[in-house]
Amino acid sequence: MKIDKIEKRVIITAMCMMGLFVFSLLYAKTKYKSNVPECLPYDKAYTNPKINQIDDKTYQVFSVASMWKFEPAEIYIPVGSEVDFYLTSKDVVHGFNIAEKDVNMMAVSGAINKTTVKFEKPGVYNIVCHEYCGVGHQNMHAQVIVNYPKAK
């Protein structure tokens, strides 16, 4: 059975387009250093909000979203810190967005998302919910406050 010339051209064009698409994805991932959140197996231990300091520059933040707040609401860390954010929800789907750091995750009840962020400049980084979650949605926010460490 012989392939028609037009069919052959369509197949070759489709393969070239798929190759270009894959190349574009890999190029964008390396150029923009995109960080895709991980989905972790659910564990009830993550339903309590807390901040763990691993060492001087490494932190774990277990953030819990619920109507209409993020817990913890304020996270204080020193400049140059690397933070692992673990995110879950107690009720409905919430968004978790830190615009200045290109962080965009979903808080889903019964699931845990994780991403790692490095904070190299001092300032206040606002966390907002970008997924409509009810009538108090517009008030749902938190902050990462990055400051210089105290002199010893």
Q: At 27, is the secondary structure helix, strand, or coil?
A: helix
Domain 38-147, CATH? 2.60.40.420
Q: What is the pLDDT of residue 44?
A: 63
Amino acid (1-letter code) at residue 90? K
pLDDT tens-digit profile of 65-105?
A: 988 899 999 999 999 999 999 999 988 999 999 988 989 99
* 113 contacts: CB under 8 Å, gap ≥ 6: 37, 38, 39, 40, 86, 87, 88, 96, 105, 106, 107
pLDDT tens-digit profile of 33-76?
A: 666 666 666 666 577 899 999 998 999 999 999 888 999 999 99
Q: At 126, is the secondary structure helix, strand, or coil?
A: strand
Mean pLDDT across 122-142: 91
pLDDT band with cut points at 50, 70 and 90 for residue 144: very high
Q: What is the pLDDT of residue 47?
A: 72
Q: What is the pLDDT of residue 37?
A: 67
pLDDT tens-digit profile of 17-33?
A: 999 999 988 887 777 66
Domain range list for the chain: 1-34, 38-147
